[in-house]
Chain A
């Protein structure tokens, strides 16, 4: 830290402390106790009686995402085939697929019977040419239909963002009910990863006449395959 920075730091912190000290007499009058213990939380709303997977699906579909459930590895491959074929017949007209560096993906995509150019963990300059990005999701939140991507477990930051379509595979065991539970789980890791991204549906904007437009800077299509079976290899 340079000397001027440390001086500015002291200036701001001293100004905060001084002004708070000046507030003490007023605070006393209105009964504010600065030392009061931090606030406790309630754990939010009770969940409706849906299974976590159903709740996730309903929530994601409410924000224009798609969700399928697979019970076996074969069903994942079938789902991938169906999604990629569907995209091939859409306006998107995809030619190239990119995978993150997550182990199971290369094996799975090898079983997909759709002829497409596949790149694993492309460079950021190459990314702008990719049409479909496939990643895992390290966790998800059922009550909001949210995917949780962890940058230290997979190279997923740009593949989930730059291509116009994103397909994510989530293991059902990593699906939490509420936002609160998910935050607690993230914090229980040894340390929080450099970047954790929550994704709820495709990229959207309503900046022109408040009319919803899907896919402004991020993907316009988001597919989630929930895998409810034995661990993937």
Chain B
């Protein structure tokens, strides 16, 4: 029902702004997450050092990514993990489907993985007749509702408990209740049967540790532990950027990720999986597979600016801090990854043309950069993408003469104080044509002037003051 695309972002955003319930939910969620993050970060005296360390580790790894990736693969292969390489999303889905069908699998349980959201794995598996069950509570809710996640770490924050209760009554036949503990218990009981019946468990990967070949997955519910322990086959899907060099590096990232995401010191569970079990009678799956996904990521390595997009550890802090996300939520972005980081990686993953509005979904206030645990300069990346979009725009040739002229004039005025004073005086006289109630708004008069109309279409412009600061200064403010 809500499968929007990035191409219609402006319209999606307008629709979202009219959704009172959504905006209430977003206000609660983003402010609560933000507050918890602030407290959790403040509880560590060396928070800023940790951010710098994490970024330095990521930069170092990404600059040597092929080597670390090979080291990770070799070490995990030596412990019995089977590797598969997927240049594209379609390749990843095909590989996973083949593993499942070759082994006669019918039921697949999944733990939350943004990477498999990116490849639309569920659709691919279901089209082939497999039963796919999301087991993270939030993901389970949106799967039942045929929706998509609206937040990286809280997929169903756009829904109220009342809506979820209705959904459970309709889909699972439970008596109506809006008691959250009761709803959670229902999901637990329903999903237990699925876990018991599943042949394949599919998970994501938070970190792939090169030095030991270990996969680290982080969670709170326990569904990842079940997904990776009960079915006879475990398939983990990881983007190429998830590698970190050393086991000791986990220290830095486990301090940053939970605190930035949910404000916890540690999430309830971390699973460190190194290879397959040693003896057939041991607990755990018989086979462990890792699917390594590129899908446009390696392109981002080609410049230090874009490369930092791959440092993201998917904590969701930038979503909560973003004044745009706070108002419109995740669905309006029309992409798997929403919010500031989504506006950066989506155009790079799916192409600028298909997501050309996303880099503009920002006021460039810098709140995302402030909270990012790996210090990604998101505003600068957004500007970089905007420049690329302008560069590639088919209308650029027509616009450029007028635009160039406008900037020439602007440069002349700004570098000549006399000319500047004159033009602001003129501005003060002529702005009278547009000013209504102390502001320059979208009015028939403003719409006649193209450059002005482009600004006022979405925001008001503050008129020039009757007396300029320079005049006040020379009139005696200077003392």
Contact = CB atoms under 8 A, between A and B. Distances in A.
B196 A128 contact: yes
A41 B66 contact: no
A218 to B, nearest CB: 3
Contacts of A146: 266
A215 B183 CA distance: 12
Contact of B251 (A15, A155, A179): A179
Contacts of B230: 124, 158
Nearest to B62: A20
A26 interface: yes
Interface in A17-68: 17-20, 22-23, 26-27, 30, 32, 34, 36, 38-39, 41-42, 44-46, 59, 63
A190 interface: no
B284 A194 contact: yes
Contact of A183 (B25, B63, B251, B282): B251
Given A34-B64, A208-B180, A27 B284 contact: no
Nearest to A200: B266
B5 interface: no
Contacts of B91: 8
A217 interface: yes
Interface string B55-72: 011011001111001100
Given A34-B64, A207-B136, A218 B225 contact: yes
Nearest to B70: A13
B270 interface: yes
Interface string B196-219: 100000000000000010100000
A162 B188 CA distance: 11
Most buried by A among B164, B221, B222, B277: B222
Given A193-B274, A207-B137, A208-B161, A144 B247 contact: no
Interface string B238-268: 0010000111111110110000001011111
Given A197-B271, A197-B272, A209 B49 contact: no
Give the contact-size bracket for chain B: 35 or more
A155 B57 contact: no
Nearest to A33: B63
A144 B267 CA distance: 10
Nearest to B160: A209
B222 A195 contact: no
Interface string A173-201: 00000011001101100011111111111
Contacts of A192: 212, 214, 247, 272, 274
Contacts of B57: 38-39
B248 A180 contact: yes
B45 A45 contact: yes
Contacts of B351: none
B85 A16 contact: no
A20 B306 CA distance: 11
Contacts of B270: 197-198
B32 interface: yes
B188 A215 contact: yes
User: Residue among A15, A184, A195 with the most chain B CB within 10 A?
Assistant: A195
A152 interface: yes
B2 interface: no
A216 interface: yes
Contact of B303 (A23, A59, A128, A201): A23
Given A5-B84, A39-B56, A195-B273, A158 B283 contact: yes
B284 A151 contact: yes
A161 B225 contact: yes
Interface residues of A, number: 76
Contacts of B246: 38
B191 interface: yes
B32 A210 contact: yes
Interface string A136-147: 000000011010
A48 to B, nearest CB: 11
Interface in A73-111: none
Nearest to B292: A12
B438 interface: no
Contact of B85 (A12, A26, A143): A12
B29 interface: yes
A175 B269 CA distance: 18
B254 A206 contact: no
A11 interface: yes
A207 B141 contact: yes
Nearest to B164: A208
Interface string B295-329: 00011111111010000000000000000000000
B273 A194 contact: yes
Interface in B74-103: 79, 83-87, 91
A23 B220 contact: no
A158 B283 CA distance: 8
A196 to B, nearest CB: 4
Contact of A27 (B188, B267, B283, B304): B304
Given A8-B86, A9-B85, A39 B240 contact: no
Given A192-B212, A208-B137, A208-B156, A218 B269 contact: yes
B459 interface: no
Given A8-B87, A200-B267, A23 B304 contact: yes
Nearest to A14: B66
Contacts of A42: 46, 49, 53
B161 A209 contact: yes
B220 A44 contact: no
B248 A187 contact: yes
Which of A1, A12, A187, A198 has its CB near the most chain B CB atoms (within 10 A)? Answer: A12
Given A32-B304, A192-B214, A201 B247 contact: no
A218 B248 contact: no
B188 A217 contact: yes
A16 B66 contact: yes
B70 A151 contact: no
A133 interface: no
Interface string B169-199: 0000000000011011001100110001000
A233 interface: no
B225 A5 contact: no
A44 B46 contact: yes
A20 B273 contact: no
Given A12-B298, A204-B268, A179 B255 contact: yes
List the 6 closest pairs (A to B, CB-CB), nearest first.
A218-B222, A207-B138, A217-B222, A8-B85, A19-B301, A198-B270
6 contacts: A13-B69, A151-B277, A151-B282, A187-B248, A197-B272, A215-B184
